[in-house]
Amino acid sequence: MKRIAVWTGRILSTLVLVPLVFGVMMSFSGNPKIAEGMAHAGIPLSLMKTLMVLELSVIVLYAIPATSVVGAILFTGYMGGAICTHLRLGESVFIQTLLPILAWLGLYLREPRLRSILPLR
C-alpha cells in the first residue's frame, strides 16, 4: 500500500509541474501569445523575467525531495497570485485552485515525513 501511495504521489507531483514547465518553455520561446496574455491580465511585460525565475525556482524546489515542502509552499503562494489575477478579470479559477491541492496531495503521498507531521484522522 505504501508503495502505491508513493508512486501515486510522484505521478500527481509530476502532473502538477507540467503546466509550469510548459509556461516557462512558452515564455522562453518568445511566443507573442504570452505578451498578449500578460497585457490582458494587466501585468507589465517587464515582469516576464521575474515571473520566469520565480516559476523555475518553484519547479526546481518542488521537484527536489529535500526542498519539496518549501517548493509546495512557494507554489501555493504563486498560484494564489494567479487566482487573484483571474478573479479580478472575472475568469474561472478552477485550474489555479486545483493545482496547489494536487501538489500538496502528491507531496503528502510521496513524503512519509509529511504524513507523520500531518496525519489524517
pLDDT tens sequence across 8-51: 999 999 999 999 999 899 888 888 888 899 999 999 999 999 99
- pTM, two decimal places: 0.89
Please indicate, yes or no, if residue 25 is contained in any of the structural domains.
yes
Please indicate, yes or no, if residue 47 is contained in any of the structural domains.
yes
Q: Which three cell numbers stand for residue 47?
A: 515582469
Please indicate, yes or no, if residue 26 is contained in any of the structural domains.
yes
Per-residue pLDDT tens digits for 39-88: 999 999 999 999 999 999 999 999 999 999 999 999 999 999 999 999 99
Please indicate, yes or no, if residue 116 is contained in any of the structural domains.
no
- The total number of structural domains that make up the chain: 1
Q: For residue 36, how many C-alpha atoms fall within 13 Å in the half-sphere facing its CB? A: 4
For residue 90, the enclosing domain spans 2-108
Query: Per-residue pLDDT for 112 more than 90?
Result: no
Characterize 67-103 residue by residue with b for buried, 16 or more Cβ atoms within 10 angstroms of its Cβ, and e for exposed.
Answer: ebbebbbbbeebbeebbebbeeeeeeeeebeebbeeb
